[in-house]
């Protein structure tokens, strides 16, 4: 396809005029040029086409089916036999023009642009936009030479310096020279020459300000065509000759402060961070008072905020979740819901109805939406849902809307105006831009209360349950048990958060008398803090915990807060009695056995409670530090006799356990220990069931009653010899 060159320059500096006149001069020399305009204004080739504006590649892509696309539809022949293409771009203020350049180039290649018979391909590129899309022509495989158009204005030179900085990311030795398009300002010749010397790139052409350019533009021509005998036309022919020679230079960029000194004659003063006032330094940190632990401490992100917010919103009955994202993102996050439902079914737990059939819709953002903006698609999806009678919406943004700047809130406002009674909240997660999975959980829980909550007078004897783990299979069952205990004390539940509730519950949330924590995770702490900050709702001191002592602790705390001490005491007595009776069976099997335990939760008193009630003896016990949990229960691990260790210590711990040879190892995951040690699973999350110790002891007992050696093969062989089983047949 011949040589490929790129002409870069600040917007409005005249690079399209230079490019078109250069193409015309090359054409007169018998050089066939393919000029590709890479500016959303799509006016690069107008003067080569008699003043006509051709349709752009991106408009063609949007309007034409893939099977109907032809290269000839986007290529026009202009002055001197040149070929003209305009990449185009989105409407101002929407979409991503840089992505449009990438897509346009991809379509041209798919349509066979490499087969076009051209001696030189000239890319006319906007140079004060330095994103990756506009840098494509600089990349290896596209332009082999880059020319920079500049005037003597500081911002024009600043853009030229940035172009050199961008070129340095690919190949520093491909700069063809500086083209000086004068504005006629005082001292600009000296400024451009100083810049040229500083960056090591010569000025290969100079054009004085002239009305001839404006006259040619008015006539829909280049100066080369309109006034072939003019000095300007001669200068473009000289530039064309230098371009055909292809001489290149290893340009370098200079730092911003040095550029200001060189061009403006002053030193840019910079204030060090240490000199900033404390308030300004604090404002510079990206901190939210309700940040997840990962975001707060800059830890590696575990999952994306988009998925976290979706897991909460799809758990709320009566809420329609709109996933403003590509379909792959939506499919992935909705798969989390179905996996949760399947896991609950397999374990015999009640399934969250919303997870079996999530009320969710996706905008299916594709290449077009990323270029031209996704607001129209979002509006259409929401309009269809609203027309079907849906009235409560949560819009969650994936990565592309954040990158291209879609205004989802404006669309939400339109829908609320078009469909009276509709309420839409927008969660600007932008994929993982807001943070990790747990940040999305926090944002969704708080956003739902702010959007659908109805502040007012307190509801007597009511609590919000905070910290529901929407992705846990047993979460719904555990919440129901807590609700039953509260009902026995005549305490109502205002709302369960961050999810596992309904629209009515969200409305009640700001009017509850207190918040009761379902666990001690950091995200629970942040949501409780939100209720205290915005609605003055206190958090009860004792969280919901598993085991007898844990359950009696929170029941007593709730009873004391609401003046229900007698009912709370009766419940505590009942819990203790039922647990003692339930442990008689496991104790008959486990009396005298030994065990070791490894937990990732600090709340382990229920584990010791279960082991001791079953008559077992703990040899060693450990809590592995995990960033998911806050530290307010760390002392409980100490009181229960558990050593707190680092994650990196786990291999050493397993070697210790091997040496101790307990009968049982309690662990959240399969451990590499002696196979004679029976392993029973401890939950990752703290149990909230008062009788969790019973289920743990029964599991251990079943393991102890199972045969120590595999016997099914021996039994099968004996039965086969006795004729009780047919012999296997492998065919003739």
Residue with tokens 């959007």: 451
Residue 465's H or E segment, with its range, is strand 462-466
Q: Are strands 83-86 and 76-77 parallel, antiparallel or unpaired?
A: antiparallel
Q: What does the angle CA 192 – CA 195 – CA 199 come to, to the nearest 5 degrees?
A: 140
Token pair, residue 83, equals 């070929």
- Please identify which residue in the block is written with the tokens 């999806």: 381
Question: What DSSP assignment string belongs to 320-383?
Answer: EEEEES-HHHHHHHHHHHHHHHHHHHHTTPPPPHHHHS--EEE----HHHHHH-SHHHHHHHHH
Which residues share a beta bridge with 393? 320, 424
Q: Would you state the torsion angle of the CA atoms of residues 646, 649, 651, 656, taken in this order, to the nearest 10 degrees?
A: -120
Based on the residue annotation, tell me whether 359 is a catalytic residue of this protein.
no
Active site residue 384: no
The packing angle between helices 305-313 and 327-346, to 10°, is 50
Catalytic residue among 128, 337, 502, 603: 128
Calpha distance 355→317 (Å, rounded)? 10
Query: Do the beta carbons of residue 389 and residue 314 sit within 8 Å?
Result: no
CB 26 within 8 Å of CB 120:
yes
494: left (phi over 0), alpha (psi -120 to 50) or beta: alpha
3-state secondary structure 144-213: CEEEEEECCCHHHHHHHHHHHHHHHCCCCCCEEEEEEECCCCCCHHHHHHHHHHHHCCCEEEEECCCHHH
**Candidates 15, 368, 469, 564; catalytic one:** 15
Phi-psi category of residue 513: left, alpha or beta, with phi > 0 → left and psi -120 to 50 → alpha: alpha
Distance from C-alpha of 696 to C-alpha of 682, rounded to nearest angstrom: 8
| Spatial distance between the Cα atoms of 2 and 117, rounded to a whole number of angstroms | 8
Residues 640 and 618: their CA atoms lie apart, in Å, by 11
Is 10 in the active site? yes
User: Which of 10, 368, 390, 526 is the catalytic position?
Assistant: 10
Distance between CA atoms of residues 569 and 587, nearest Å:
27
Measured CA angle at 104 (ends 101, 106), to 5 deg: 110
Phi-psi sector, 126: left (phi>0), alpha (psi -120 to 50), beta: beta
> In whole angstroms, how far apart are CA 611 and each of 89, 596, 642, 678?
68, 10, 13, 15
142 is written with which tokens? 């596209």
Distance CA 69, CA 100 (A): 17
The residues annotated as belonging to the active site are 10, 15, 41, 128
């Amino acid at each position: 396809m011949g040589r490929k060159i790129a002409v870069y320059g600040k917007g409005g500096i005249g690079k399209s005029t230079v490019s078109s006149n250069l193409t015309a001069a090359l054409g007169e020399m018998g050089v066939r040029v393919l000029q590709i305009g890479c500016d959303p204004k799509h006016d690069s080739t107008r003067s080569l086409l008699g003043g006509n504006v051709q349709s752009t590649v991106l408009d063609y892509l949007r309007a034409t089916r893939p099977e109907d696309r032809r290269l000839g539809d986007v290529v026009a022949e202009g002055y001197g036999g040149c070929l003209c293409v305009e990449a185009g771009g989105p409407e101002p203020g929407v979409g991503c023009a840089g992505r449009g350049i990438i897509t346009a180039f991809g379509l041209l290649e798919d349509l066979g642009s490499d087969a076009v018979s051209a001696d030189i391909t000239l890319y006319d590129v906007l140079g004060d936009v330095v994103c990756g899309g506009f840098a494509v022509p600089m990349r290896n495989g596209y332009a082999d030479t880059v020319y920079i158009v500049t005037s003597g204005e500081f911002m024009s030179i600043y853009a030229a310096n940035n172009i050199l900085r961008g070129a340095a990311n690919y190949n520093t030795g491909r700069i063809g020279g500086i083209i000086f398009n004068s504005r006629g300002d005082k001292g600009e010749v000296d400024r451009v020459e100083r810049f040229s010397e500083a960056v090591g790139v010569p000025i290969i052409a100079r054009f004085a300000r002239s009305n001839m350019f404006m006259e040619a533009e008015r006539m829909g021509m280049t100066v080369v065509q309109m006034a072939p005998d003019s000095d300007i036309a001669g200068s473009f022919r000289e530039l064309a000759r230098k371009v055909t020679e292809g001489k290149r230079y290893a340009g370098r960029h200079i730092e911003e402060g040095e550029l200001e000194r060189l061009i403006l004659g002053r030193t840019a003063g910079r204030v060090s961070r240490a000199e900033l006032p404390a308030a300004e330094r604090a404002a510079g940190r990206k901190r939210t008072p309700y940040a997840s632990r990962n975001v707060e401490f800059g830890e590696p992100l575990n999952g994306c905020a988009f998925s976290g917010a979706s897991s909460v919103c799809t758990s709320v009955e009566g809420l329609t979740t709109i996933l403003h994202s590509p379909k792959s993102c939506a499919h992935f996050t909705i798969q989390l819901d179905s996996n949760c439902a399947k896991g609950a079914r397999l374990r015999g737990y009640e399934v969250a109805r919303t997870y079996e059939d999530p009320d969710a819709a996706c905008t299916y953002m594709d290449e077009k939406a990323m270029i031209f903006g996704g607001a129209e698609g979002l509006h259409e999806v929401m309009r269809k849902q609203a027309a079907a009678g849906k009235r409560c919406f949560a819009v969650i943004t994936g990565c592309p809307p954040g990158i291209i700047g879609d205004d989802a809130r404006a669309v939400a406002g339109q829908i609320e105006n078009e469909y009276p009674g509709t309420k839409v909240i927008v969660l600007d997660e932008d994929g993982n831009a807001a943070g990790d999975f747990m940040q999305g959980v926090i944002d969704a829980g708080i956003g739902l209360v702010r959007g659908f909550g109805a502040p007012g007078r307190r509801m007597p004897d009511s609590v919000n349950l905070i910290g529901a783990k929407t992705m846990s299979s047993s979460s719904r069952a555990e919440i129901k048990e807590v609700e039953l205990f509260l009902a026995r004390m005549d305490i109502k539940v205002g709302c369960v958060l961050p999810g596992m509730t309904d629209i009515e519950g969200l409305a009640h949330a700001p009017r509850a008398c207190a918040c009761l924590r379902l666990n001690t995770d950091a995200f629970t702490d942040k949501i409780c803090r939100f209720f205290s900050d915005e609605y003055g709702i206190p958090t009860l001191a004792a969280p919901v915990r598993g085991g007898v002592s844990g359950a009696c602790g929170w029941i007593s705390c709730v009873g004391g807060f609401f003046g229900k001490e007698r009912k709370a005491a009766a419940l505590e007595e009942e819990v203790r009695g039922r647990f003692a009776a339930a442990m008689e069976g496991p104790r008959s099997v486990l009396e005298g056995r030994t065990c070791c335990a490894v937990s990732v939760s600090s709340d382990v008193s229920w584990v010791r409670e279960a082991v001791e009630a079953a008559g077992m003896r703990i040899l060693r016990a450990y809590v592995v530090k995990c960033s998911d949990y806050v530290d307010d229960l760390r002392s409980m691990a100490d009181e229960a006799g558990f050593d707190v260790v680092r994650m990196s210590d786990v291999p050493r711990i397993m070697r210790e356990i091997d040496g101790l040879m307990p009968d049982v190892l309690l662990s959240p995951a399969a451990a590499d220990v002696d196979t004679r040690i029976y392993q029973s699973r401890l939950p990752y999350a703290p149990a909230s069931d008062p009788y969790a110790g019973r289920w743990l002891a029964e599991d251990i007992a079943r393991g102890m009653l199972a045969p120590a050696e595999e016997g099914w093969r021996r039994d099968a062989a004996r039965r086969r010899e006795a004729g009780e089983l047919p012999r296997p047949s492998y065919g003739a």
